[in-house]
Amino acid sequence: MAQPWTLHPDRALPAEPGQRAIAREVYAATANLPIISMHGHIDVGAIRRNDPFGDPAELFIIPDHYLVRMLVSQGYRNSDIGVRPLDPNAPFEADHRLIWRRFCENWKLFRGTPTRYWIEHELVEIFGITEEPSAKTADAIYDQLTATLAKPEFRIRELFDRFNIEVLSTTDAPDADLADHAALAAEGWGDRVIPTFRPDALFYPNRSGWRDAVTRLSAASGIDVTDYASFLEAIQERRFAFVAAGGLATDHGHRTANTTPLDPADADRIFQQALSGSVDFATGEAFAANMLFESARMSTEDGLVMQLHPGVRRDHSEAIFQAFGPDNGFDIPEAVEFTRSLAPLLNAFGLDPRFRLILFTIDETVYSRELAPLAGVYPTVKLGAPWWFLDSPDGMFRFRELTSETAGFYNMSGFVDDTRAFASIPARHDLARRVDAGYLAKLVAEHRLTLDEATETAVDLAYNLPKSSYARRGE
């Protein structure tokens, strides 16, 4: 009889026995700490309603970009995995058991990936699955998961408590009415689920949908947006509304890190041109750079922490984008330059105690050359965690190696999980804590830190730094 599927207690810890023993001690100090999840994409309405998760395909597969892209790379179409096309008449796979079988039959594709670590953690540690996914076990696992997901204790709020999530930040459009956040606050969840202001759709006037976004901004703010000045006023009003709803940060997913400001007259000219017609790519990029500068200025007034993560070519496949819409067309990393691009913003606000900036990237070539030196000197700048393609065991370890010597540990913001997959949150934080334990164990083994120092640092990275990096100004 086959042995039940279990996970090794030392997974992702160093292979060298001496370092592994040290890492175990360091990890033990962080394993059960509360989770501070300050950069996520969970639907706040699902939390307010305490929605069930549906079936295994809906929970694990269809919304998971990492998982979908791996299967697509092996010849499956997005629609084969249950991703619904924009065309309501276009066919797509609606049999969720069949989608689950396809995933289980291809379990080996995820060997060596963080997706493998996250999903096996979820299946074993959260849902009690005792058989590894395969073509043979697919149906039995599907049935067990379906029965488990139907239990009241596996709804989102109950798991919120079980996962020991202290605070979770959602990502919200500027025109969001924040009603779900208000309802949660009325139930005593106001400090546990908070909004984050994501204004990208308003900052690129060359992109489709920009005028509609401005119309929604005007309606949400109550300000008649007719020119650049009223546009800025409306954005600031919405930012204050987010602060009042408990928000602590803004989030900016720009193509580049350019922060060159425009003369207000030039900005107004671009704004009026975009309202009445269209602007070209270069003009749209210049306006977006100006709006990053303006966002930093606004942060000095309302205290919201500014998060910036440039360097992603969104929807690389035009065909997939046209068929399935945004966020499905293969996002690919691009090289990013920070030093010159951030100079205007940091020269204006980099020494201002009212301002805070957290930088993320998926271009790891800039870790030691640009980001660590910037965070290592500007008191307003912190480095965000390895993100997206780099929140993997080796990616996180390389991040520590390339940044710690220059920036130190205390110019970091701590781990963020950046996920739409709620059940993966504890798995992602667990992996980050294990990798940090391994890196710190190496420094202890080399007599560069004491065990007490390593343990204290690990606790700070996992819990104290995320709290302090995003704390409301003055707290």
Q: How far apart are the first and last CA of the chain?
A: 57
Tell me the domain boundaries of the chain. Answer: 17-51+156-470, 52-154
Distance CA 208, CA 185 (A): 35
Among 415, 397, 399, which Cα is nearest to 407's? 399
Query: Quick one: how many helices (H) and strands (E) in the chain?
Result: 21, 10
Closest by CA to 402, choosing from 370, 438, 356, 432, is: 370
**CATH topology (fold) of 52-154:** uronate isomerase, domain 2, chain A (1.10.2020)
pTM exceeding the 0.85 threshold for the entire prediction: yes
pLDDT in tens, 131-160: 999 999 999 999 999 999 999 999 999 999
User: What's the rounded mean pLDDT across residues 353-365?
Assistant: 96
State the Rg of the chain over Cα: 23
Contacts by 277-286, CB closer than 8 A, 24 or more apart: 278/206, 279/205, 279/206, 280/206, 281/206, 283/205, 283/206, 284/204, 284/205, 284/206, 284/207, 285/204, 285/206, 285/255, 285/256, 285/258, 286/260, 286/262
pLDDT at 267: 98
Secondary structure (3-state) at 458: helix
Are 17-51+156-470 and 52-154 the same fold in CATH? no
What token pair was written down for 408?
Answer: 């130190």
Average pLDDT of span 219-225: 98
Identify the CATH assignment for 17-51+156-470 out of 3.30.300.30, 3.20.20.140, 3.60.20.30, 3.40.630.30. Answer: 3.20.20.140
| Residue 384 pLDDT greater than 80, yes or no | yes
% pLDDT > 90, the chain: 89
Please tell me the distance from the alpha carbon of residue 432 to that of residue 421, in angstroms, as a whole number. 17
pLDDT of residue 1: 57
Give the helix/strand (H/E) hosting 200.
helix 200-203
Which of these, 204, 203, 241, 209, lies nearest to 222 by C-alpha position?
241
Length of the chain: 475
